[in-house]
Amino acid sequence: MYSMKYIAYISILIWSILSGCATHRLGRSGQQKVADQVWVVTGSSSGLGRGIALEAGRYRAKVALAARNTAELEKVAAEIRAAGGEAIVVTTDISDSLALKALAEKTIAAWGHIDVWVNNAGVTVLGNFWETPIAEHSRVMDVNIKGTFYGSYYAMQQFRRQGHGKLINIASAESRLPTAYQSSYAATKAGVKNMGIVLRQELRLAGMKNIKVVSVDPWALNTPIWDHAANHTGHAPRMGLMDNTSKAVNAVMHAAAGGRNRDMAVGWKTHAAYAVHWLMPRFSHRVSSNIVYRHQMKLAPPAADTQGNLFTPSAHPAVTTDIKERMKAEKKAYKRGKRARSSR
């Protein structure tokens, strides 16, 4: 008889192979499902949110763009309209519940209903828990979990009125596999995941089968979050083994076009990490934090403390960043310095 661990190892292999299925671009039938849908995307001025909004626009969706940076939202809206979609700009501080209510109202005023609401807006602060200012921890909580909570609340009010809708909350692999130096971020993403589980159960018990809730768990992505993060580590923000942002964008498109009503791990790295965590939770926590320690505290060059984009909009918004190239250059510099020190 096969042992449970043997079955688990086989499952990891199969899981990792199949996990790429939702990270490719939507086919024609999926694109047709997204066409003419009404979307709300928070945090759509930069990073993953910008990528999601632009991709939905390419499929001719109607997209309400929400973030603090009005000028960047206007640029995203122009790209969506040029691609054949429709867009409205709603300048929004996600941590303000009344602003989220106004976002829902303006979207409904423009198009009459909401099909897909994506709670994507997020910020982070890097540093030891006890060395990070409490105001910065609080700001991460205000945006990542309270903002998602508020957005989910107003989305659910509208979905219940119209009898259908899909809520997509961007969680993270850190929701299940937290790592060192991101305590408040990991706490908020675990909260996002658990809120989604509760919402699905409440909808099931209420018999609301046409309202879906999907939590999407990306791996670390090459978005500008690493350039915009608040940071108190003494070193430049970075992460190892990053995925391309397009994987998470495509996963959200599949979630919107399909009938999913569950958590959705993105890519083979997240699937494999979750499987290892299931088998050896303490080991997985140690290994993942050791990897982060090496990349963040040993290989990264010195950097001054910063509040990043916690309290002001991002300075240089984009879907992706050149962080992979920066990390390669930093690694070469680290090795040159190490050789120079050893030759003395």
Q: Which of 46-60, 112-126, 276-290, 326-340 has the lowest mean pLDDT?
A: 326-340
pTM: 0.91
Work out the percent of the chain whose per-residue pLDDT is above 90. 76
In the predicted model, is pLDDT for residue 123 greater than 70?
yes
pLDDT digits (tens, 9 = 90+) for 252-298: 999 999 988 889 999 999 999 999 999 999 999 999 999 899 888 98
Helices (H) and strands (E) in the chain, counts: 13, 9
Interior angle at CA 70, CA 64 and CA 72, nearest 5: 90
Q: What is the pLDDT of residue 261?
A: 84
Active site residues: 185
pLDDT per position as a tens digit, 66-102:
999 999 999 999 999 999 999 999 999 999 999 999 9
pLDDT in the model for residue 67 = 97
Whether 195 shows a pLDDT value over 90: the answer reads yes
CA dihedral 100, 106, 109, 112 (to 10 degrees): -50
Segment holding 215, helix H or strand E: strand 211-217
The whole-chain average pLDDT of the chain stands at 91
Percentage of the chain lying above the pLDDT 70 cut:
93
Q: Running DSSP on this structure, what letter comes out for residue 243?
A: B
**3-state class (DSSP) for residue 211:** strand
What pLDDT does 344 receive? 66
pLDDT value at residue 16: 46
Burial of 341: CB neighbours in 10 Å, binned 0-12, 13-18, 19+:
exposed
- The mean per-residue pLDDT over the stretch 97-115 comes to 98
